[in-house]
Amino acid sequence: MDIPDELFELYSKLVDKIYSDKDFYSEQELSTFTPGIGENYQNGLMVVGRAVNGWGNKIDKTNIQYRDTVLIGIRKCLAEDNLQWVIDQWGGNHEVEYNPNKSAFWRLIRKLSEELIEQNDEVINKIVWSNLYKISKAEQGNPSGGLMDIQFEICRDILKFEIELFKPKIIVFLTGWSWAGRFLIDIPTIQIKNDEMEYVEFVGKVNSSLIIVAQHPQGKAEYPHLEEIIQQIKLFNDYTV
C-alpha cells in the first residue's frame, strides 16, 4: 500500500513535539511505532492496541541532531512495515526473543482474525495493526502520563488519518475505554452499548467502520473475551469481513 505524504508529515510533527516538549515527560530513551499493514490486507479488520514496548526507531530526546535520522527511519517503516514477522515468529524462533504466541494480545488477534476472515496460518497478513500512542518507552512499560499527554493530539490526528486511509470494515480496540475514549470522543459515533457485556465496553460506528472497544486481553479469559467481541460484530450483518 502506498503511504500518503500527509501521514509522514503527521509523524514529522510528532517527532518535533517530542523534542520541543522534552521537559514535560520523564522518559529519555524512546521508540517510535508505525502501523503494520498485512501484505494481503483488503479493508477488512484493523486492530488497535495501546502502545508498544521498545519498538522501531529509537529517539534520544537530548540529541535533536538525530531528528533527520529518526524521520528517515519512520518513512522507511511506513513504506515497508508488514506483519509477516508475527507469522514467522509464532511459536518461537531461536533467532529472536519475542514469541507472539506467548502474548495474550496477539493470541486474541489471531483467533479474532480466524473467526472473521479465514482459518489460516497466514491470516495475520490480512489485517492492519496500529496503536493509540506512537511514541513509547525504549524499554518495557507503558508511556508515562506526561508522554501520553504531549503526543495525544497528534496521535489522535494520526488515528483519524489511519481510519480514512485503511478504510476497515471493523476496528477492534483492545485497549479498554479508559485508553480509547479520549481518542474517540470527537469522532462521530453511534453508541450501542449493552450494559450486560463484560469485556466489550463500547460499540459504535465511524464513517463506514464498525468500532468495538474491548478490554485489554492481558489476564482475561480468552475465549469468553473473543466470543463477546464476535457476538457484537455479528449483530451487524453488513460487517462481515
pLDDT in tens, 8-24: 999 999 999 999 999 99
Predicted pLDDT of residue 133:
98
- Is-above-0.85 flag for pTM? yes
Which has the minimum average pLDDT: 30-34, 101-105, 188-192? 188-192
Is residue 159 scored above 70 in pLDDT?
yes
Write the CATH number for 196. 3.40.470
Is residue 189 scored above 80 in pLDDT?
no
Average pLDDT over residues 216-222: 94
Predicted pLDDT of residue 195:
67
Which has the minimum average pLDDT: 161-175, 187-201, 227-241? 187-201
What is the residue-averaged pLDDT of the chain?
91
Predicted pLDDT of residue 237:
64
Question: Angle 222-234/104-116 helices, nearest 10 degrees?
Answer: 40
Average pLDDT over residues 83-104: 85
Is residue 101 scored above 80 in pLDDT?
yes
Residue 17: which domain range?
5-239
Average pLDDT over residues 139-144: 87
Domain count, the chain: 1
Is the separation of the CB atoms in 96 and 86 below 8 Å?
no
